[in-house]
A and B are shown apart, each in its own frame.
Chain A
Amino acid sequence: MSITILFVLVPIGAIVAWWLSQQRLTAKPWLEVGAIGEVPGSGASSLPAATIGLGVFLAVVSSLFALFISAYFMRMQVADWAQMPAPKVLWFNTGVLILSSVALQYAQVAARRGRMEGVGDGLIVGGLFAFTFLIGQLFAWRQLNAAGYFLATNPANAFFYLLTGLHGLHLLGGLVALVLTIDKVWRGLELAQVRLSVKLCAIYWHYLLLLWLVLFTLLTPWVGDFAAFCRGFSPAVY
């Protein structure tokens, strides 16, 4: 529990601490009467509110998955754990998700450079790849089910379905935002009005790709050996 939480809460804590350090917390506001020009730094970031909002949301998602992964490691230590093989299609899915992320990055760069047609293409291709990824994940579920790795047979299976499902739901939510953005492009909105949405979609996509790489690494069998190795260094929580 403690190790995984540390991995996520320490960076989040570090960001919060860094941010607080920029806020002049040592100011003596009771001595600083005056207009804004006389008091340095209102502390608001120059980033748009939506970007900050996405950042906070990603911190929440990180916390969520860190806790799931903690639970995964703790449950793994019980004797009945039987790691199941990762279906080959996951490699294909990983590749597709990488391509999806690349496409969105392309859209974002196009938006920055002011090429509207590039934005639309990038978004649609990225969306299609993401959709393919989801289909691929469902396919992986079917394969596992056909091979007899049912949800309730073993906690390892349960975690696999749970974590991939949750990741998929997050991607599905992202697809909704993506479709709304594509709609904005189709309606012919000004580039300035689309740029932010495209950027936020790209950030979210890269985040979900990173998250998937972490999950994929953890859910494949060789991680069991690695975890056993790590456990040698960490005191058992219970």
Chain B
Amino acid sequence: MADITIGAAGVIPPAEVEDVELYHPKSWVTKYVFCQDAKVIAIQYSITALSIGLVALVLSWLIRLQLAFPSSLSAIGPGDYLQFITMHGMIMVIYLLTALFLGGFGNYLIPLMVGARDMVFPYVNMISYWVYLLAVLVLVASFFMPTGPTGSGWTLYPPQAILSGTPGRDWGIILMLVSLILFIIGFTMGGLNYVVTALQARTRGMTMMRMPLTVWGIITATVLALLAFPALFVGCVMMLFDRILGTSFFMPAIVEMGEHLKYHGGSPLLFQHLFWFFGHPEVYIVAVPAFGIVSDLIATHARKNIFGYRMMVWAIVAIGALSFVVWAHHMYVSGMNPYFGFFFATTTLIIAIPTAIKVYNWVLTLWRGDIHLTVPMLFALSFIVTFVNGGLTGLFLGNVVVDVPLSDTMFVVAHFHMVMGMAPIFVIFGAIYHWYPKVTGRMMNEPLGKLHFWVTFLGAYSIYFPMHYLGLLGVPRRYFEMGEMAFVPQSATTLNGFITAAALIVGLAQMVFLFNLIWSLFKGKPAGSNPWRATTLEWQTPETPPGHGNWGKELPVVYRWAYDYSVPGAKEDFVPQNQPPVPRAA
């Protein structure tokens, strides 16, 4: 604690800047390639994640084309279709969303928002990215293997994942597992940085309860990921042993084509437990950073302090804790003890409480706010709507008796695409439009942004709303084609055609976004240091984009929380966190 006196001249804190040993890039290679600066690593993470995400986007077009025109596309066979859905799911959930939220936004925003010069372990941070890139390359390599990538579904359930009937059984599954193991190792290195930086490298005056909710969201998600990813690691290592070394961790005795395999006694259910012990927290690993970011977007663009900051923090922590005790609600149809189903249904429904608190607080933040319908704000608002929609169908599926008939129908596909597909993606877009001016120094084009938003938003609803209906009809998911099903009316095929048309249009809209991203880099309007007139520290850097070491000579000192918007009596409608308080009149 430093002694700080408030005199008539204002507050002059002694800036006791410790000599932080910053790493200084010497050449082009260490500045832009093997760089230890968190901002560069963040950009590397983001570009890699968006690139591999584009692959997953194209895969989704192929999936949709097959569903709209079954038996008329000769290029897509049943095996290909399974490979497409597997890779689409895995890439989107892990290699795009997790990597972009934590590796991308985490790296860029944590040091800037808490007023640090860099991450606490910059070297480890750099290695983290390169291991992630290696994981992505291994994943991509599986596309070029003789039998292609694995087609076992993104859940990789054994025994089918490593039986010869499943496409990609030879190399695909091995590369998939190796890639996941690499991803987890890389993530752990990054994750240590995110948590310890937020805990230990906060600048003076930045108490935990003065941190922007973005940081709360990202570090909570990181803690979840650090504790949950080991479950996937265990599952992957053991399955790799089963596949390569012939152990029987997960593989029961199986007769394949009249031939007894060497496996015996393994438990496929064990894998499901491990997978979902990771898999459910994974939903929140993606959702919780989105919660945090969207809180900041709404407060900034509605010019109003976030409603119930404390409750927001508590809710984030509560959601994180609860997410570890709900995993088996993904396994209601695995044949478990009904009492377990009851337990997990209860915990699942309890999560609705902190989540609802967050939604109410966002809405109350908007209430009587000075809402600016900028592109980031539009995406933030669309997140709230979409998250509520997806969350409500989650209440359906959380109940065992409702889940059992709906499980494995399109209803589930619609549910999770709404709640953990579209909702976090909207936040990612909003966040990119919001922080792009800080990263590049230029604004993104607003009309193009609005076009992108409206097509994506309306398009997403055209895709997923009808899908709920298909699911209620009983249209199964994961099927290459439906064939003749008495209970599915002919109109379902027409509806599938409509959904595909919407999906292709939404896909095209993303090209507008990409164009905007690159075009604005060169031709965008210069942004200045704080175009949104936001309070948080990253907008108060001396340079835009922030230079190496972020803060010039002296670290900022924080005097207030992150949400001083429209403070009565203040000169401007926002008061930056590092602005000293007006001295009280003597």
Q: Pick the contact of A42: B205, B247, B273 (CB < 8 A).
A: B205
Within 8 Å CB of B560, what residues of A?
Answer: 29, 32-34
Within 8 Å CB of B132, what residues of A?
Answer: none
Task: Decide if A28 touches B310 in the complex (CB within 8 Å).
Answer: yes
Stretch among B28-36, B94-102, B196-204, B492-500 lining the A interface = B196-204
Q: Pick the contact of B557: A9, A23, A36, A78 (CB < 8 A).
A: A36
Task: Decide if B337 touches A235 in the complex (CB within 8 Å).
Answer: yes
Residues 107-130 of A, flagged 1 when their CB comes within 8 A of B and 0 if not, give 000000000000000000000000
Q: Complex Cα distance A23/B270, Å?
A: 38
Q: Complex Cα distance A20/B29, Å?
A: 41
Q: Pick the contact of A238: B204, B249, B309, B336 (CB < 8 A).
A: B336
- A-B pairs, top 6 by smallest CB distance, nearest first, are A80-B265, A29-B561, A64-B230, A158-B247, A35-B4, A152-B246
**A206 in contact (CB, < 8 A):** no
Within 8 Å CB of B1, what residues of A?
Answer: 36-37
Task: Decide if B192 touches A56 in the complex (CB within 8 Å).
Answer: yes
A155 CB, min distance to chain B CBs, angstroms: 6
Task: Decide if B337 touches A151 in the complex (CB within 8 Å).
Answer: no
Within 8 Å CB of B324, what residues of A?
Answer: 9
Task: Decide if B208 touches A155 in the complex (CB within 8 Å).
Answer: no
Counting contact residues on chain B (CB < 8 A from A), the size range is 35 or more
**B417 in contact (CB, < 8 A):** no
Task: Decide if B6 touches A42 in the complex (CB within 8 Å).
Answer: no
Q: Pick the contact of B249: A33, A70, A158, A236 (CB < 8 A).
A: A158
B220 CB, min distance to chain A CBs, angstroms: 10
Task: Decide if A29 touches B207 in the complex (CB within 8 Å).
Answer: yes
**B314 in contact (CB, < 8 A):** yes
- With A35-B11, A52-B200 already in contact, the answer to whether A71 and B249 are too (CB < 8 A) is yes
Stretch among A43-51, A92-100, A175-183, A194-202 lining the B interface = A43-51
**A68 in contact (CB, < 8 A):** yes
**B317 in contact (CB, < 8 A):** yes
Task: Decide if A63 touches B227 in the complex (CB within 8 Å).
Answer: yes
Task: Decide if B234 touches A49 in the complex (CB within 8 Å).
Answer: no
Q: Complex Cα distance A49/B199, Å?
A: 9
Q: Complex Cα distance A75/B266, Å?
A: 7
Q: Complex Cα distance A43/B215, Å?
A: 15
A64 CB, min distance to chain B CBs, angstroms: 4
Provide 7 A-B residue pairs closer than 8 Å at the C-beta atoms, listed in order of the A residue: A9-B227, A25-B208, A30-B563, A42-B202, A43-B207, A44-B201, A166-B237
Q: Pick the contact of A39: B207, B226, B267, B563 (CB < 8 A).
A: B207
Counting contact residues on chain A (CB < 8 A from B), the size range is 35 or more
Task: Decide if B200 touches A49 in the complex (CB within 8 Å).
Answer: yes
**B3 in contact (CB, < 8 A):** yes
- With A42-B204, A67-B277, A155-B265 already in contact, the answer to whether A56 and B270 are too (CB < 8 A) is no
Task: Decide if A152 touches B262 in the complex (CB within 8 Å).
Answer: yes
Within 8 Å CB of B13, what residues of A?
Answer: 35-36
**A222 in contact (CB, < 8 A):** no
**B41 in contact (CB, < 8 A):** no
Task: Decide if B2 touches A12 in the complex (CB within 8 Å).
Answer: no
The CB with the most chain A CB atoms within 10 A, among B6, B121, B199, is that of B199
Within 8 Å CB of A152, what residues of B?
Answer: 245-248, 262
Task: Decide if A13 touches B310 in the complex (CB within 8 Å).
Answer: no
Within 8 Å CB of A43, what residues of B?
Answer: 199, 202, 207-208
Within 8 Å CB of A71, what residues of B?
Answer: 234, 238, 249, 270, 274
**B210 in contact (CB, < 8 A):** yes
Q: Complex Cα distance A24/B310, Å?
A: 10
CB interface residues, B 335-378, toward A, < 8 Å: 335-337, 339-340
Within 8 Å CB of A37, what residues of B?
Answer: 1-4
Q: Pick the contact of B209: A23, A34, A35, A36 (CB < 8 A).
A: A23
